[in-house]
C-alpha cells in the first residue's frame, strides 16, 4: 500500500485538519438537501463511534450489521464502526453483535427483528416507526464529537468490511482496513478522482435494495475511495418517481464530473433520450443542453459486467464513456 496511513481514522483526521470547512457529503432526498463539511462529517462519525463503544459495548473485531436506506446515514455509520475497528456486515447472522436497522417495510422489519432475537444480537433502530426499540438518533445526539478509543488503534490488519453475496456463501470475503484503503486508492486513481471534483451517486448506499453483491460492496468501497481522494460526494437516491430529466438537471446544476449509477438506470436514460429525440427535444430534458454538462467526464457503472450491448446503446446516444469494474 502506497498510502501514508495505517487506518481509516487517520484519513478522516487529515481532511478534518487540512480542510475542515470543505463540503464532503451532500445528501439530496425528497425531504430536502443537507451538506456536511469534513468537520461536521467527522463529528458525526465520532459521535457514532462513542455510542457504539460506550453505550453498546462494541469492541474491535466485533460485527455490526447495518441495514439502512436513508441516503446520508450509511457513510456516517460505516465510518463510526471503522473508527473503533468494528467489522461491518450487511446481513444478520450469528456473528452480529449489534444491528443498526431501518426498513420501511413493516413485514420485513418484523422478520429481521425475529432473526436478531434468534441469533441473540442487540437491535438499535434507526427510526421509531415500527416499535419502541431504542432509537439511534435520540441516543447518539448527546454523545461527544471527539472519540478516544480505549483499545489499541486499528491497524492495516484490522478487519473492516464483510464482503458478501446473498446467494453464494463461498464468495464471502473479509476485507481489512489496509486492503480497503489500498483498493480505495486504486479505485480513486482508476476513476481519476481528485479533491476538487464532484461525484453523484444514484445508488442506494445502505439498503438491501440491490441484491447484486458487486453493487453493494462497491458502494462501501466508493465511500472509502472518496475519503482517500478528498472528493465531494453528492448522494441522491433514485426514487421510483424520479425521472431521467432530474438526473441530468442535477448533473448540470452541480457541475458534476462523475456519475455513479446502477445498470438498472441505464435503460431509463436510453428510453428517455429516444422519446425526446422523437419529439424533437433535447435528450437531457427541458432546458438542459450539451454545453450545460460538458464537465461530466464519464459514467461509472460498477454492476455492468456482461452488459456490453446495453452500454453500447447508451454510448451511441450520449458522448460519455461508461466505465465498469472491468476497466
Percentage of the chain lying above the pLDDT 90 cut = 31
pLDDT of amino acid 132 = 55
> C-alpha cell of 102?
431501518
Q: How confident is the model at residue 312 (pLDDT cuts 50, 70, 90)?
A: very high
CATH class for the domain made up of 8-237:
alpha beta
DSSP string, 86-105: PEEESS-STTEEEEEE--S-
For residue 45, how many C-alpha atoms fall within 13 Å in the half-sphere facing its CB? 27
Residue 289 is inside which H or E element, if any?
none
Q: Which residue has the cell 457503472?
A: 301
Kindly report each contact of residues 50-55 with a partner whose C-beta sits within 8 Å and lies 24 or more positions away, as own/partner. Answer: 50/140, 50/143, 50/144, 50/147, 51/80, 51/136, 51/139, 51/140, 51/143, 52/80, 52/81, 52/84, 52/86, 52/98, 53/84, 53/147, 53/149, 53/150, 54/143, 55/139, 55/143
pLDDT tens digits for 145-162?
A: 888 888 888 988 898 887
pLDDT given for residue 265 in this prediction: 87
Give the pLDDT confidence score for residue 295 in this predicted structure.
Answer: 92
Give pTM, 2 decimals.
Answer: 0.85
| Radius of gyration of the chain from its Cα atoms, rounded to whole angstroms | 20
Pairing of strands 198-201, 23-29: unpaired
For residue 160, which of 231, 91, 220 has the smallest C-alpha distance? 220
pLDDT, tens digit, 9 for 90 and up, residues 235-294: 665 545 568 998 899 899 888 899 888 888 899 999 999 999 999 999 999 999 999 999
> Smallest Cα–Cα separation from 242: which of 212, 269, 279?
269
Look at 63-72, 79-88, 174-183, 302-311 and tell me which has the smallest mean pLDDT. Answer: 63-72
Average pLDDT, the chain: 82
Q: What is the average per-residue pLDDT within 182-209? A: 74
pLDDT mean over 161-189: 74
Instruction: Please give the pLDDT value at position 62.
Output: 94
The x, y and z cell numbers of residue 224, run together, are: 472509502
Amino acid at each position: 500500500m502506497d498510502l501514508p496511513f495505517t487506518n481509516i481514522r487517520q484519513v478522516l483526521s487529515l481532511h478534518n485538519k487540512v480542510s475542515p470547512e470543505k463540503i464532503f457529503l451532500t445528501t439530496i432526498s425528497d425531504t430536502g438537501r443537507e451538506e456536511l463539511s469534513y468537520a461536521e462529517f467527522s463529528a458525526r462519525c465520532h459521535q457514532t463511534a462513542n455510542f457504539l463503544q460506550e453505550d453498546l459495548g462494541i469492541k474491535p473485531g466485533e460485527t455490526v450489521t447495518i441495514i439502512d436506506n436513508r441516503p446520508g446515514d450509511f457513510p456516517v455509520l460505516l465510518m463510526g464502526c471503522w473508527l473503533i475497528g468494528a467489522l461491518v456486515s450487511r446481513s444478520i447472522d450469528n456473528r452480529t453483535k449489534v444491528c443498526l436497522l431501518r426498513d420501511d417495510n413493516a413485514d420485513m422489519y418484523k422478520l429481521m427483528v425475529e432473526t436478531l432475537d434468534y441469533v441473540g444480537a442487540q437491535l438499535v433502530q434507526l427510526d421509531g416507526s415500527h416499535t419502541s426499540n431504542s432509537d439511534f438518533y435520540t441516543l447518539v445526539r448527546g454523545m461527544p464529537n471527539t472519540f478516544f478509543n480505549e483499545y489499541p488503534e486499528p491497524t492495516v490488519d484490522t478487519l473492516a468490511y464483510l464482503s458478501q453475496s446473498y446467494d453464494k456463501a463461498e464468495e464471502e470475503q473479509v476485507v481489512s482496513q489496509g486492503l480497503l484503503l489500498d483498493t480505495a486508492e486504486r479505485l480513486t486513481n482508476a476513476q481519476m478522482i481528485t479533491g476538487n471534483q464532484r461525484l453523484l451517486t444514484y445508488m442506494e448506499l445502505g439498503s438491501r435494495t440491490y441484491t447484486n453483491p458487486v453493487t453493494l460492496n462497491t458502494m462501501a468501497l466508493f465511500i472509502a475511495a472518496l475519503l482517500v481522494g478528498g472528493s465531494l460526494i453528492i448522494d441522491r437516491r433514485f426514487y421510483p418517481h424520479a425521472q431521467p430529466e432530474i438526473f441530468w438537471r442535477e448533473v448540470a446544476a452541480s457541475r458534476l464530473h462523475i456519475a455513479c449509477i446502477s445498470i438498472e438506470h441505464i435503460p431509463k436514460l436510453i428510453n428517455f433520450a429516444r422519446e425526446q429525440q422523437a419529439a424533437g427535444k433535447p435528450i437531457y430534458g427541458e432546458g438542459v443542453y450539451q454545453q450545460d454538462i460538458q464537465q461530466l467526464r464519464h459514467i461509472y457503472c460498477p454492476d455492468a459486467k456482461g452488459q456490453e450491448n446495453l452500454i453500447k446503446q447508451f454510448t451511441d446516444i450520449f458522448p460519455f464513456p461508461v466505465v465498469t469494474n472491468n476497466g
